[in-house]
Structure formats: C-alpha cells, structure tokens
Amino acid sequence: MLDGTIRLLEKLCSTSRSHGLMQSDHCVHMALLYKSLSRKVLLTSAAMKRRITTDACQILMSPSLTSIDFPDIWTSSSCSDYSSITKSYDDQQTATVIDGRVIAEEITSGITSEVRRMKNATGNIPGLAVIMVGQRRDSQTYVRNKIAACEEAGIKSEISNLPEDCTEDQVLNALSRFHEDPSIHGILVQLPLPQHLDESKILNSVHLEKDVDGFHPLNMGNLAMRGREPLFLPCTPKGCIELLIRSGVEITGKRAVVIGRSNIVGLPTSLLLQRHHATVSIVHAFTRNPEQIAREADIVVAAAGVPNLVRGSWLKPGAIVIDVGTNPVEDPSCEFGYRLIGDVCYEEASRVASAITPVPGGVGPVTVAMLLLNTLESAKRAHNFA
C-alpha cells in the first residue's frame, strides 16, 4: 500500500515537472522522504508478523498514527497562468465581497463595551500575552495587528520577544511567567516556531484556562465531541463561522469542503462546520481529484497555505468562498517589503462564487477579533464576572 503511495507521489512529481510546476530536486527529496518514512512502517509491520505478543501494540498490523503523519506537500498554481483553465468566465459575474474589516469592527465595538463594563464593576481588565520567537516579517505584522487591536479594545497586552536560536526552556520559562501572572488571562504563542523547537510540547504547555488560541488537546477534543463545549474555540475557525453567519449564509445541511487539514485551521474548521450541521469533506495533498471534490461544495474554506492553489475551475457557480490563506510575497513597493495573497486565485474565483473573502481584509481581522473575545471570556471567568 505504501509502495503504491510512493509510486503515486513519483508519478505526480513527474507530471508536475512536465508542466514546470515543481523542481526535479524537490521531487527527488519528496520521494526519498516518503521511502524513508514508509520503510519504518513496513519494518514495524514485518516485526509484528514475526512476533505476536499480548501487547496490543504488537498484535495490530496497523502502524502508529504518528508514524504515518506524512507532511502535506502541495503544488501551487500561478494566478497569472490561465493555460490550465478550460472553463470560460462571464466577466459580468462578480461575487459579493465579505468585508472582514467591517465585521471585525462590529465585534470589537461590542468587546470594547464589555471591557469597559468589567473595569467599572471589578476594577480589572483582560490581559493578553504574546510570545514571539524570531524575526519573521509576516509574524511581526500579525503581532503588531494583535497588539493594536488590544489597545483599541482596552485590553492589556504584553510581548515576550525571544531570539530565533532560543532554547525550548526559554520559551517554557516565558510561558511559566505568564501563567503565574494574574493580570494575564490569555497566552498566545505566535506560530510558526523555528524548526528546532517542539511546537506540540510548547502548545500543550499552555494552561487550559489561558489557552485563548484554543489549541490545547482538551479544547480540541471537546470541539470534536457532540454535547461538549470547549473553553475556547480556535480563533480562525471561529472567525470563519462568524463570517458565514453574519453574511447570511445557511450552514445547516450544506456541503462544505475544507482544503487543508492543519491542527491550527483545517482540522478545527472541519469539526466546527460539522457542529453546525454541514456535511464536510476535507481535501489535502494526498486527495485524488481535489478539484472535482471542491466543485461539489456549497461552502469552500481554503486553508492549505499555498498561494493561488484554488482556481476558478475548482468552484461551482454560486459557491461561498472563505480564503484563510495569508501568504507573504515579496513586493518592494509595499511598506514592509511584501504583500499578502490568499490560497484562492481571487481574480478567477470572484467571477464564479456568489460571495468571497478578500486577502487581506477578510478572515484576518475577524481572527484577531476572536482572539480579543476569547481573552475577554477568559478574564470574565477568572473574575466571576457575567
């Protein structure tokens, strides 16, 4: 089975090379990576055949889940290259723009009023701490936006800036300081972290009651189970649902496709859509015929982290498109030397979809508003304020 996966991967690489989409060295690296990973699984399976014991881990033929957690490696497509598009578009058909900035302002206004009411009643205000590792320009921009939003809403904010080469203990020590600070009600670790740091260990170390990002395993588990309520919903998925509801989109009974399955966005978004009674499919880098699957969706949430992955041909007419992608592309003419583009080719999708979120100005501002709301809710719980 895994050999078949490798052969499929190599075939995809060969096809991609013929279209100029991937570099030969990259394909070789991918094939070697999968052969290396699969060899471990096959050796484990062979060992299980030879020695069956009373240990359940040895009895089963199936490998451990982490051993088959292969990385999703996507092939991007250029929005300026229309050669692969066979469908013609009506230039007069333009999607309604779902303005995330306007919706975020409405939500933030309500948060600001609640912060003021809490301060007048208890003398306390919510507090958010951000741990920033390294000097990624896009991460710095996101953190600036979050701090500015906190200031606007009257929420206290603190930043712990750590160097790119910091140790795991330094990050955990920063977490510990914020855990012990009663004026901090929410802690956010800005992702992605440098590769030498154990992201899972660090995120799992955030105390549940201050996990305003909603990434703690207990929060994720409660999201997945019907009848359970997480302390916090992850901010971006929560924002996606709010965008849909405030735009008058009916979710119940609709067919939704989530493109991407990251622990941060894709997975929790699919779970949250299910909780809202949508019929959900997940498309990932190993999905066969992803374009065909996406074309069946009433609601498409693109969260693969690949610029312009979703073309107009991926959408059925009238679909609702939520573009979570925020991909920095170098642009010297911009203030910070780069600009953001989405996972969806906006120029094409806006001629097919009935409504679409822009990048920037769509999901991003609402995600920040959800972070402020989670921080406010955490502070209310801490101070028994209703």
187-208 pLDDT per residue, tens:
999 999 999 999 999 999 999 9
- Preceding amide of 360 cis, omega within 30: yes
Residue 79 structure tokens: 């929005």
284 within some domain = yes
Per-residue pLDDT at 366 exceeds 50: yes
191 vs 71, which has greater pLDDT? 191
Per-residue pLDDT at 108 exceeds 60: yes
CA distances from residue 44 to 32, 41, 68 in whole angstroms, order as listed: 19, 5, 12
Q: Residue 323 forms beta bridges with which residues?
A: 302
241 vs 40, which has greater pLDDT? 241
Per-residue pLDDT at 18 exceeds 50: no
pLDDT reported for residue 287: 96
> In the structure, what pLDDT confidence band is assigned to residue 63 with cuts at 50, 70 and 90?
confident
pLDDT tens-digit profile of 293-319?
Answer: 999 999 999 999 999 999 999 999 999
223 within some domain = no
Does residue 145 sit in the same domain as residue 240? no
> In the structure, what pLDDT confidence band is assigned to residue 31 with cuts at 50, 70 and 90?
very low
Instruction: List the one residue out of 63, 61, 13 whose CA is nearest residue 38.
Output: 63
C-alpha to C-alpha distance for 80 and 179, rounded to whole angstroms: 48
> In the structure, what pLDDT confidence band is assigned to residue 92 with cuts at 50, 70 and 90?
low
Interhelix angle for 363-382 vs 100-122, to 10°? 20
67 within some domain = no
Q: What is the pTM of this model?
A: 0.80
Mean pLDDT of 332-354: 91
CATH of residue 294: 3.40.50.720
pLDDT reported for residue 58: 57
pLDDT reported for residue 308: 95
* Single-letter amino acid code for the residue at 136: R
Residue 132 structure tokens: 């920033």
Does residue 238 sit in the same domain as residue 356? yes
Does residue 176 sit in the same domain as residue 276? no
C-alpha to C-alpha distance for 366 and 100, rounded to whole angstroms: 6
Domain that residue 144 falls in:
123-207
256 within some domain = yes
Instruction: List the one residue out of 151, 193, 142, 200 whose CA is nearest residue 326.
Output: 142
pLDDT reported for residue 79: 52
Mean pLDDT of 146-151: 96
Interhelix angle for 100-122 vs 137-153, to 10°? 50
> In the structure, what pLDDT confidence band is assigned to residue 76 with cuts at 50, 70 and 90?
low
C-alpha to C-alpha distance for 365 and 368, rounded to whole angstroms: 5
Mean pLDDT of 226-245: 95
48 vs 267, which has greater pLDDT? 267
* Single-letter amino acid code for the residue at 3: D
Does residue 241 sit in the same domain as residue 184? no
342 within some domain = yes
Mean pLDDT of 94-105: 96
C-alpha to C-alpha distance for 326 and 88, rounded to whole angstroms: 27
pLDDT reported for residue 65: 67
Average confidence score pLDDT of the chain: 84
Mean pLDDT of 333-352: 91
Q: How many domains does the chain have?
A: 2
Does residue 255 sit in the same domain as residue 328? yes
73 within some domain = no
Per-residue pLDDT at 57 exceeds 60: no
Tally of residues, the chain:
386
> In the structure, what pLDDT confidence band is assigned to residue 94 with cuts at 50, 70 and 90?
confident
pLDDT reported for residue 97: 97
Residue 20 structure tokens: 């100029």
DSSP annotation of 162 reads E
pLDDT reported for residue 375: 98
3-state helix, strand, coil in the chain (%, to 5): 45, 15, 40
pLDDT reported for residue 41: 40
199 within some domain = yes
- Preceding amide of 192 cis, omega within 30: yes
Mean pLDDT of 49-53: 39
CATH of residue 175: 3.40.50.10860
The catalytic site residues sit at 146, 190, 213
100 vs 9, which has greater pLDDT? 100
> In the structure, what pLDDT confidence band is assigned to residue 335 with cuts at 50, 70 and 90?
confident
Does residue 274 sit in the same domain as residue 352? yes
Does residue 202 sit in the same domain as residue 297? no
Q: Name every residue whose Cβ is closer than 8 Å to that of residue 150 and which is 6 or more positions away in sequence.
A: 128, 156, 157, 372, 375
Per-residue pLDDT at 345 exceeds 80: yes
Mean pLDDT of 133-143: 88
Does residue 355 sit in the same domain as residue 290? yes
